[in-house]
Amino acid sequence: MDTLQGYEAVRFDEATGEMILLDQTLLPNEVVFLRLRDQDKVWEAIHMLRVRGAPAIGIAAGYGAYLAVLYSKAASYAELLPEFVKAKEYLASSRPTAVNLFWALERMERCLRRCDGMDIAAIRTTMLAEANAIKAEDIAMCRAIGENGLGLLEKGWGLLTHCNAGQLAASKYGTALAPIYVGQEQGYGFKVFADETRPLLQGARLTTFELFNGGVDVTLICDNMASMVMQQGKVQAVLVGCDRVAANGDAANKIGTSGVAVLAKHYGIPFYVLGPTSTIDLKCATGADIPVEERKASEVTDLWYTKPMAPKGVKVFNPAFDVTPADLITAIVTEKGVARAPYTESLAALF
Ligand code: MRU
């Protein structure tokens, strides 16, 4: 089954010159596609998590960078370059943790710099091709992650996942959910437990939306139920995505992931981190070098409630990500293969 066909997180409409985003803040209740041309709209969509998930943010950044070129009034490469650099820096300020944002923007800038000497029309064509390539490569990478990850799993297993690292967070297949989709094609019959993932509920709103609609056996649990389902023997492996992996294998992912890793270690359950090599940032030596986004308090106190659920003015800590130490990670699954400890060597060998 071609799961969620038509629900692509990010695509580009060449006929109208617009990036089309599925507004993930409205899921699962409304399926609304946004049509974007302006840089401030792209920035807002990334910042507000209308598009979210490390690979999808990278794809949106690629098209966002292309939009800066498409709608520029510059008459030459020399005029365009400084304008582009400004737009790139602006988009780069939308979210700090997922390295794919910066990776995609750098890649688009390198592409533009190779266009020196071309006229504006040729530059636009080249930049669109690069943005399209980022997306096409993501689909192929996610498929390969799915195949590599499936090799670690057995038919009928119970799998637990946190946040949403599926098709909505990338292109087709996703990362952590890719082995589930590839396994579904081959009749693996996985039983998936999706953590709801407080505070933004990516697990409840997005992971169950895409797996349930895709015909996968999925059960929603509150974050604090993970220990119980593990204790009951219902989980044979944990699969999570990543927003940035440091050179030593420490992996940043949605807040709560490190707690799941601690539980998995306690119960002797393998804990797999899945992501493309574009999410590995060898410039970060350890997880301590990964910038962790903090988001506003109202996401915890008010967002999903009809009345505030905390006293007005109470202190709130709302980090969007945490870092799972490498020693809690059984393996890191990429499109190029499965890396195991010692990660400093195995991750470097992937490049
Ligand atoms: O804040 P979000 O929703 O962008 O966080 C997303 C995650 O943490 C995902 O698990 C990660 O980006 C991997 S997506 C394939």
pLDDT in tens, 243-289: 999 999 999 999 999 999 999 999 999 999 999 999 999 999 999 99
**SS3 of 334, please?**
strand
pLDDT in tens, 105-140: 999 999 999 999 999 999 999 999 999 999 999 999
Residues that are catalytic: 243
* 321 phi-psi bin (left φ>0, alpha ψ -120 to 50, beta other): beta
Closest ligand 1 atom to residue 240 Cα is 10
**CB under 6 Å to ligand 1: residues?**
49, 52-55, 98, 163, 165, 169-170, 174-175, 202, 241-243, 253-254, 320
pLDDT in tens, 222-245: 999 999 999 999 999 999 999 999
Ligand 1 pocket mutation, candidates 207, 254, 258, criterion most atoms within 8 A of CB: 254
Contact 28, 205 (CB under 8 A): yes
**pLDDT at residue 180 is higher than 70:** yes
Q: Measured between alpha carbons, how far is 270 from 174 in angstroms, rounded to an integer?
A: 20
- Calculate mean pLDDT across residues 139-161: 98
pLDDT in tens, 181-192: 999 999 999 999
Ligand 1 pocket mutation, candidates 242, 280, 290, criterion most atoms within 8 A of CB: 242
- Strand 271-274 to strand 237-240: parallel, antiparallel, or no bridges (unpaired)? parallel
- Calculate mean pLDDT across residues 283-296: 98
- Strand 280-281 to strand 244-246: parallel, antiparallel, or no bridges (unpaired)? parallel
pLDDT in tens, 74-107: 999 999 999 999 999 999 999 999 999 999 999 9
Burial bucket for residue 270 (CB in 10 Å: 0-12, 13-18, 19+): middle
Q: Whose CA is nearest to atom 10 of ligand 1?
A: 241
